[in-house]
Amino acid sequence: MRRKALGVGVSFAAAAVAAAIVCWRAAPVSGATESSATPYNRLTAASYLDSREVWWQQWPHARRDHGTICISCHTQVPYAMVRPTLQHLLGETAMPATEKIMMDNVENRVTHWSEMLPFYSDEAAQSHATEAVQNAIILVNVDEQQGHLRTVTRTALDNTWALQEKSGRLAGGWVWQNFDLGPWESEESGYQGAALFLLTVESAPDHYAHEAGVREPMQRLEGFLHAHYAEQPVLNQMYVLWASGKVPALMAEPERAALLQQIRNLQKPDGGWCLSSIDKRERQDDTQQSTEADGYATGLAILALDAAGTSHRDPAIARGVQWLETNQNKTGMWVATSINKQRDLDSEAGKFMSDTATAYAILALQKAGVSNNQ
């Protein structure tokens, strides 16, 4: 009975938020146009991301036990990474209802961690570890904006460290969901998740990364990233470069120099970067990979270059920023395509990569100090 009641609560709340967003988006915004924003439009970007979060919350396939929702790598994690920043930039006085529902869901799963079933029972250990990392990333990103770690966030971090591998090939990292789907559910995805988690911990408020009980597992994590760096796709190495802005010793100088040159070499003539060139794999349906620049790869490249100390006047960043400024579409999103199979980009599932692309584009533009037209 408790599970059913909770599920109805989530559905009702999500439906109410959806109706509010429809009404809000139907109302004309002063100064807004249907054309692509120049340099970019935070308001339409926030509207797009909020609407995608509402869709995810209502999607039957995302429903899990105890009335909770699956934490998605492509939609919810990027949303949590960027939405607190958008709230500040847009002058919103409170957390949007869509984000509040997501946060309540995550906090519910963290608070009742021992009662929660893994998202995928056929990969229980991997699913549990992957979720633990994602929960911590989501909660720390919110607390970073508030300047203080809440108790529930510390619990999420404790849950994550408890599942860290202590020995074997993955020592210092985590077992990870592997459905042979890049870039987040494949054999090498755990490395990317570990790098992003390290960056998150180093950004956590209250000097959490320097607490006595955290240094040892952090050293194991750094050792894991060192040990497996050479075997990673460029995509994952870019996450390490991004994290090295917080932990310079994470990369040897020759590794840093080689990756920086490779990132420059992979920049396309139009100024963007393409996901299929930094995470090379064959699509499962044997269709050709897209070779067009996208918001995810371009945003990540700028974030990594910035973390390495590259000047915003450097041609690589300047051209990347220009690409982002001119490639937000009228719905507010930046497009990216699946590297696993060809999808209809107008379908709900076809927008998964664009959810990530939009979040990373905004993070990169904000890091580069770009203003907006709303």
| Residue 45 in tokens | 């970007």
- 253 domain residue, yes or no: yes
pLDDT attached to residue 373? 57
Kindly report the CATH number assigned to the domain that includes residue 158.
1.50.10.20
pLDDT attached to residue 25? 37
* Residue among 334, 335, 328, 315 nearest 372 (CA): 328
10-residue stretch averages of pLDDT, the chain, 374 residues long: 36 45 36 46 97 97 95 96 95 95 98 96 95 98 94 98 98 97 96 98 97 97 98 98 97 98 98 98 96 98 98 97 97 97 95 98 94 59
β-bridge mates for residue 294, sequence order: 273
Instruction: Say which residue the tokens 């906090």 belong to.
Output: 107
| Residue 171 in tokens | 């020592």
pLDDT attached to residue 370? 85
Residue 21: CA count within 13 A, CB half-sphere: 22
- 242 domain residue, yes or no: yes
**Full residue range of the structural domain in which residue 85 is found:** 2-367
How far is residue 253 CA from its own chain's centroid?
27
Residue 87 has phi, psi (to 5 degrees) of: -60, -45
pLDDT attached to residue 206? 97
Instruction: Say which residue the tokens 């579409």 belong to.
Output: 329
303, 305, 307, 313: CA torsion to nearest 10? -100
| Residue 120 in tokens | 């995928």
| Residue 231 in tokens | 């075997």
- 339 domain residue, yes or no: yes
- 184 domain residue, yes or no: yes
- 85 domain residue, yes or no: yes
CA distance 362 to 234: 21
* Residue among 155, 160, 158 nearest 175 (CA): 160
* Residue among 190, 192, 197, 191 nearest 125 (CA): 190
CA distance 317 to 104: 37
* Residue among 198, 195, 205 nearest 238 (CA): 195
CA distance 109 to 124: 15
- 245 domain residue, yes or no: yes
Q: What is the torsional sign of CA 362, 367, 372, 374? A: positive
How far is residue 27 CA from its own chain's centroid?
30
- 138 domain residue, yes or no: yes
294, 300, 302, 303: CA torsion to nearest 10? 160
Q: How many domains does the chain have?
A: 1
Q: For residue 68, what are the contacts with CB-CB under 8 A and spacing of at least 6?
A: 6, 10, 105, 108, 109, 116
β-bridge mates for residue 185, sequence order: 181
DSSP reduced 3-state for 120: coil
How far is residue 331 CA from its own chain's centroid?
20
Apex 30 CA angle, 25 and 35, nearest 5: 70
148, 150, 153, 159: CA torsion to nearest 10? 120
The whole model's pTM is what? 0.90
- 374 domain residue, yes or no: no
Rounded alpha-carbon distances, angstroms, from residue 240 to 243, 248, 356: 5, 10, 18
**Beta-strand (E) ranges in the chain?**
none
